[in-house]
Structure formats: structure tokens, C-alpha cells
Amino acid sequence: MDHFGFSPESVKLTKPWVAPELYAHLWKKVNAPQPKEGPPDIEGDLFLDCQDIPTKFEIGDLSITPTKAKVNVILHWDSEKRRYTVLLEQVNGAWKIYDVHYGKDGKLTDML
């Protein structure tokens, strides 16, 4: 949450934490031309799918195999909470994010 938002700078900072394929999609999207009129395609933070920083988050249940993991995360705001599932995969011995499921709002890779 230290690098909230969606900009070339914030995407660069995600590189150690995301799978190479996801990073390539993020980089392509953040550098794509923006609409001349109206808001940008993505406003706020792409990983959190929100425009305001949550006041609290909780790590919930997780499931893990030798190469994949799913971690449930609950984000809290003053009057709202959302449940997400972060999908991770092993890349060169490290866990990397390859997608985030936002529940009824779809998933991170849908926005790219």
C-alpha cells in the first residue's frame, strides 16, 4: 500500500512481487495511450481495485500446492469490506502474484 495507484512508477515497484507474465501485461497497460476525453481506463489502485486506501486488511484462509497458492484477503474501509483472493505461483523459488480475484468485480487480469 506504500505505492498506491496505477502509474509507470508504481508498476515498476511491483516487479519483485509479480509473475513475469503479469508484469508484462501491467507494463503494457500502464503505457497504453489514455482516452482523450473522460477518465482513464484505470483509476485508483489496480491490485486493490479501489480509489481509497483501506483502513485495515486481514489475511484469511490459504491453500497451497508445491507450485501454486491462493490467499484470501479481506480489505476494510470505514463502512465497507471486500474479500479478494490473491493467486500466487512459484517463480525461481519465490512466490509471485499472477492474478487477483475481486469477487463479483472480476479479476485483475480482466482489466488488462
The tens place of each residue's pLDDT in the chain, 112 residues long, gives: 556 678 888 889 889 999 999 999 999 988 888 777 766 667 677 777 777 888 898 999 999 999 999 999 999 988 899 999 999 999 999 999 999 999 888 899 988 8
Indicate the domain borders of the chain: 8-111
Q: Which CATH architecture fits 8-111? A: Roll (3.10)
Q: 3-state DSSP call for residue 104?
A: helix
**What pTM did the predictor assign?**
0.83
Whether 87 and 8 have beta carbons less than 8 Å apart is answered as: no
Compute the distance between CA of residue 29 and CA of residue 26 in angstroms, rounded to an integer: 5
Q: What's the pLDDT score for residue 53?
A: 81
Q: What's the pLDDT score for residue 68?
A: 97
